[in-house]
Amino acid sequence: MEVGKQEKTTNTHATGLPRWLMLAPVTLLAVIAAFFAFGLTQDPHSLPSTMIDRPMPDFSLEALENGDAPLANSDLLGRVSMVNIFGSWCPSCLVEHSQLIEIGQSGLVALHGVDWRDPPGAGAAWLAQYGNPYAKTGMDRDSTLAIDLGVTGAPETFVIDRGGRIRYKQIGPITQQVWSETLLPIIRKLQSEPT
Amino acid sequence: MINEIGLVALVLAMMSALVQAVVPLWGASRNRPALMRVGSSAAIAQLTLISLAFACLMSAFATSDFSVRIVAENSHTLKPLFYKLTATWGQHEGSMLLWVLVLALFGAAVAAFGKKLPATLRARVLGIQGLLGTAFLAFIIFTSNPFARLNPAPSEGMGFNPLLQDPGLAAHPPTLYLGYVGLSIAYSFSVAALIEGRVDAAWARWVRPWVLTAWCFLTLGITMGSLWAYYELGWGGWWFWDPVENASFMPWLIATALLHSALVVERRHSLVNWTLLLSILTFTLSLIGTFLVRSGVLTSVHAFAVDPARGIFILAMILGASGGALTVYALRARTLQQPPKFAPVSREGAILANNLLLLVATAVVFLGTFYPLIIDALTSDKISVGPSYFDTAFAPIMLGVIIVMAFGPMLRWRSDAARPALRSLLPLLVSASAFGLVTGLVGQSLWGGVGMGFGAFLLGSLIRWCVVRTKLGQVNLSQSLFLARTFPRSTWGFMAAHLGFAVAVFGITAMSAWETESVAAIKLGETATLGDRTYTLLSVKIENGPNYEAQRLTFAVSRSGSPEGSIETERRYYPERDTTTTEAGIRPGLLENLYVAAGEESANGAFVVRLNHHPLAMWIWAGGLLMASGGFVSLSDRRFRVGAPHRVGATSIARA
């Protein structure tokens, strides 16, 4: 495009192109940089404010165990539930694992797992080795749900009310303290809410 | 102690980079030869110091010095020595150190091999390289110190991501960086030329080898990365349009455009402004690629450093380096001497057309990569862009690229008529369309047929080009062979690279249109089927590797009843990181790859087995390798050797 314009004006010596055109690249760079700067100001930890009280995004994840029904929105309706994002590659997930098993056994809440960014089979092997606390587990190999949820790292846990809306997001491992002081009170409160 | 030497060397390297930046630039503006000469010594000092720092870090990994934070976090005493050493660049800090090492290497290469350059140009190129070095070394020292200590030191390291424990991946970052960072030379030459206000054929001859070198390594790096994803990630895919892949692909697209436009500057002295702009844009995209990977601004399979502070630093570098260069461009480019005219139908015209197509392709990839960020900024919705966007937007542009690639070499420089070129390719056009139609109908795929047809057209046009150039059929065979032998190396390079592209087009088309898959749960002795092949699970064994234990599954393959040997797959368990990896069983072949991946054993003793048939898969990487080797062959052309034009002239006169 530039050269086409140059051709017409070649005879009129050195001032070939209009000045605004020469400024276009640097202007474009400024616009792009502004978007990047915005991207950097997005603190991943501030995300709860945008996802909280929103309905869980539409999803349907292939089950970890072959042959099981997929994990989908319908699994989250009617009961207060927790969705835990984990991966066999994630050391902190192992930290919270014993606590999750305790929660799963207590039956206080429906606990579902999302196996994130794992190669086929790795998540199932990991659960086979350390125990499976989840009622249902879906695979999110391509981060489809993780991106919708704005997951920035594993583990992350979402507390979802009976209507399928996200009510709380826990970033990082669930310790005994987090469970008894933060999550359990929230779950109790949600369970007492009228539907 | 060695650790502290490394840190001191790094700080001294930053100081010599600063000297390299300030003194020659000042000397060039005052025309003081003594000051300009400082640039070379500083560049070599900078390389020596960074090499020393790098060696120190490597020795910390080799001796498993866990008092160094990144060694403790990324290494382990049980790891084989080779992977201990390659772990040096297996994490953020070390890979940034490798980045500046390569930058200093290129700077020192200009100092060492650029003796024939005009003194002011050389001083300015080195000065700008010095500025880049200073910025990146400051980035490392202030935000990503690789020599940070850990107190108390742990007795054992935290291991290493086994996915990254692979010779291909160990070589991947250095290769990619030689490409990324090599493009900084084109950038420095362009900014220096803008400051000097002079661009001529000699300038293009100096820049082209650097661009070509960078492009070759970038091609090689991308090809290796794709191959690694194919055999190691266990997904059987070869390209995912992942942001990190795109980060290396965008500079490659523009570098390809730059390579060709610089050729026009050298041969015809046209497209000067355009080439300068492309040089700056190429390196800008290298920097943006770094930003993308290092800031964690986008979610990706690869992202391993999520740190806004680093992101802000790199963003500032992009603004300084690219913003500065583009401002100089806006101010100075119009004052450059205007190029000679050329007609739209000409070799230059074709190259410009393909340049624009490549630029549009880059824009498509860029938009797809950053669209989630843009939408988030404008509407605060979280979205992701899938491969289907890239495939549908990118493929048609590439078809345009192929058409121009077929016609361009047939055209003469400056001005040509479209009709003879069209007439000369018409029979080919007809037969390629027929080929595409037949393969499309047989394979029952529209895009498959289109891709094969276009690939055949490109391949045919290359053959046609050879026939025309060697006057094959017009003169006798020995004369044709003699003509072929007089081709300069760069012509062979051109043919190999374009052939490589055609080969890759075939591979990509076949893999996109005709890949087949089947999944089955089978027990020992049972059989799964894909197409006309059957796979029988023969044995399940436990084997021990150096730092993992593997479950090895052996499958007997047979096709329509006749046996075809066996394929093995492994699942490796690494206790130190508590991770399992899948080593897919792949039987590569000229026309097809057989690909088997197995999941873990379920309670009833069955294994979930995924079988894939990958037609022409190897052609994708073979094409990439051919392209890179074409570049290397061109690079060996004597015209690229410094001062060679005189000698070539002299010998040819002597021979005559």
Q: pLDDT (tens digit, 9 = 90+) per residue, B55-96?
A: 999 999 999 999 998 898 888 887 888 989 998 988 888 989
Instruction: Give the burial class of B77: count Cβ atoms within 10 A of its Cβ; 0-12 exposed, 13-18 middle, 19 or more buried.
Output: middle
Q: Is the pLDDT of residue B302 over 70?
A: no
Whole-number mean pLDDT of chain B? 87
- Answer with the residue of higher pLDDT: B198 or B365: B365
Closest Cβ opposite residue B578 in set A14, A94, A146:
A94
- Chain B contact set for A38 (CB, 8 A): 373, 376-377
> Number of CB pairs < 8 Å for A and B?
157
pLDDT computed for residue A6 by the predictor: 41
The residue among B132, B135, B139 whose CA lies nearest residue B187 is B132
Strand partners, B555: B537, B567
What proportion of chain A, given as a percentage, has pLDDT over 90? 18
In Å, how far are A19, A28, A195, B181, B423 from B274, measured between CA atoms?
15, 16, 65, 21, 31
Closest Cβ opposite residue B334 in set A16, A144, A153:
A16
Contact B307, B132 (CB under 8 A): no
Predicted ipTM? 0.81
Convert the pLDDT of each residue in B386-397 to its tens digit: 778 898 899 999
pLDDT computed for residue A173 by the predictor: 81
Contact B388, B447 (CB under 8 A): no
According to the 3-state scheme, what is the secondary structure of B403-444? HHHHHHHHCCCCCCCHHHHHHHHHHHHHHHHHHHHHHHHHHC
pLDDT computed for residue A84 by the predictor: 94
Do the Cβ atoms of A22 and B334 come within 8 Å?
A: yes
pLDDT classification of A112: cutoffs 50, 70, 90: very high
- What number of other Cβ atoms are within 10 A of residue B484's Cβ? 14
pLDDT classification of B164: cutoffs 50, 70, 90: low
Q: Is the dihedral of CA B302, B183, B143, A48 positive or negative?
A: negative
Owner of token pair 């940034």: B96
CA distance A143 to chain B (A): 9
In Å, how far are A27, A28, A34, B295, B377 from B374, measured between CA atoms?
17, 14, 10, 16, 5
Q: Is the pLDDT of residue B314 over 90?
A: no
pLDDT computed for residue B381 by the predictor: 66
Convert the pLDDT of each residue in B196-225 to its tens digit: 988 888 898 889 999 999 999 999 999 998
Do the Cβ atoms of A14 and B334 come within 8 Å?
A: yes
**Which CATH architecture group holds A53-192?**
3-Layer(aba) Sandwich (3.40)
H helix or E strand, kind and range, residue B159: none
Interface residue A164 vs chain B (CB under 8 A): no
CA distance B355 to chain A (A): 11
pLDDT computed for residue A10 by the predictor: 39
Tokens found for residue B428: 């080919």
CA distance A53 to chain B (A): 15
Please give the Cα distance from B436 to B531 (Å, whole number): 23
Contact B372, B298 (CB under 8 A): yes
Tokens found for residue A37: 């700067």
Please give the Cα distance from B213 to B259 (Å, whole number): 10
Please give the model's pTM, rounded to 2 decimal places: 0.80
Q: Of A76-80, B291-295, B354-358, which one has max mean pLDDT?
A: B354-358
Find the residue in A nearest to B603 (Cα): A128
For residues A59-71, give the mean pLDDT: 83
Tokens found for residue A149: 């949820």
pLDDT classification of B305: cutoffs 50, 70, 90: very low
pLDDT classification of B573: cutoffs 50, 70, 90: confident
Q: Where are the domains of chain A?
A: 2-41, 53-192
CA angle (B431, B434, B438) in 5-degree steps: 140
Do the Cβ atoms of B377 and A26 come within 8 Å?
A: no
pLDDT computed for residue B577 by the predictor: 65
Among A141-145, B483-487, B503-507, the minimum mean pLDDT is found in: A141-145
